[in-house]
Homo-oligomer: A and B are copies of this chain.
Amino acid sequence: MIIVLKQNINEAREQQLIDWLKSQGLGVHVSNGAYQTVLGLIGDTGKVDMELLESLDIVESVKRVSETFKCCNRKFHPEDTVVEAGGVKIGGGNFCMIAGPCSVESEEQIVSVAKAVKASGASVLRGGAFKPRTSPYDFQGLKATGIELLKIARQETGLPIVSEIMSAHDLDLFEDVDILQVGARNMQNFDLLVELGKSGKPVLLKRGLANTLKELLMSAEYLMASGNEKVILCERGIRTFSDYYRNTLDVSAVPMLHELSHLPVIVDPSHATGIARMVPPMALSAVAAGADGLIIEVHNDPIHALCDGAQSLRPEEYDELAKKIMKVREAIK
């Protein structure tokens, strides 16, 4: 960490600051330039409060040199992480197609969608059992029953399953779920992250609607610092002033997260756009940018879907998209 002091400051105050920093167990390297004095801090600066230092009247500015995320940082782990879940590999060149309905509605529905997406090349089945809804009056999912139906679909197709968990209370119910999804609204629900970290189960961590990449990586850090290295990052659109589509898919997050971290990065074009006809171009766009996988909503009867139908593809649309995805994968090799 580097602290730039203001010009012409009182030397006693400067010394006081240096002494305080040393009392925190840090080494301090003083560099007197022509225009300003710069203090270089040596040691574990992770706990130093940058904003407190910036607020001091003798300080011009403060700059953190080293990243605060460690476990997920590519600097300390140059090779790609490959997450294994239910026999499927994600990351490190292993492309993963996750597909399924927004909500699990019935055995017939989830099994038929599972079979359809498997036939089109999907290797993981998604389906919401616990649904986070902005309104308390909206459908909240089939809950435990939904999980049971997902397991039936897994048995019928062999596809591992991923579903969103909203509370550590429900961990028992998810014991036999292959990948636990943390939704965008819970990306900074730190208590949930710590419990999922302890569980050791593969986690698909969605970026919050207005969270930076650094914050996403710090949330991954919560999972990993609790001992869980099976983390998949997911970009799903950010909140901007945009009109005409629900969120703005931040495709640039894909190459940048790959640069910053060794974790696999997948993209959810369905929630990002909220519009079925925009899913194919944005899915292809994510693949071209190097995504390690896609999570896409597919429904056999969008008009009757209980929620989010507007963003679901029909199985035949998904099939057509899957073929193009493979071609784009080939093109960028």
By a beta-carbon cutoff of 8 Å, the part of chain A in contact with chain B is: 2, 4, 20, 27, 29, 31, 33-36, 38, 40, 42, 46-47, 49, 51-56, 60-61, 63, 65-66, 68-69, 132-139, 166-169, 185-186, 188-191, 194, 208-210, 212-215, 218, 221-222, 225-226, 238-246, 248-252, 254-256, 259-260, 272-278, 281-282, 284-290, 302-303, 305-311, 324, 327-328, 330-332
Q: Given the complex, which residues of B lie within 8 Å of A20, measured CB to CB? A: 303
Do residues A281 and B289 form an inter-chain contact, with CB atoms below 8 A?
yes
Q: Given the complex, which residues of B lie within 8 Å of A65, measured CB to CB? A: 4, 35-36, 60-61
Tell which of B241, B282, B328 touches A241, judged by Cβ atoms closer than 8 Å: B241
19 extra interface residue pairs, beta carbon distance < 8 Å, beyond A213-B242, A252-B272: A2-B2, A33-B40, A36-B65, A46-B138, A49-B305, A49-B306, A51-B246, A51-B274, A55-B310, A55-B311, A68-B135, A136-B190, A185-B188, A210-B241, A239-B241, A248-B252, A249-B252, A254-B281, A285-B289
Do residues A245 and B256 form an inter-chain contact, with CB atoms below 8 A?
yes
In whole angstroms, what is the CA distance A42 to B33 when docked? Answer: 8
- The verdict on A34 contacting B27 (CB below 8 Å), with A2-B4, A240-B248, A252-B245 known, is yes
Do residues B243 and A240 form an inter-chain contact, with CB atoms below 8 A?
no
- The verdict on A305 contacting B52 (CB below 8 Å), with A61-B65, A139-B47 known, is yes
Do residues B311 and A221 form an inter-chain contact, with CB atoms below 8 A?
no
- The verdict on A38 contacting B40 (CB below 8 Å), with A49-B308, A332-B284 known, is yes
- The verdict on A29 contacting B33 (CB below 8 Å), with A210-B210, A240-B238 known, is yes
In whole angstroms, what is the CA distance A325 to B208 when docked? Answer: 31
Tell which of B33, B215, B255, B278 touches A281, judged by Cβ atoms closer than 8 Å: B255
Do residues A51 and B287 form an inter-chain contact, with CB atoms below 8 A?
no
Q: How far is the CB of A139 from chain B (nearest CB, A)?
A: 7
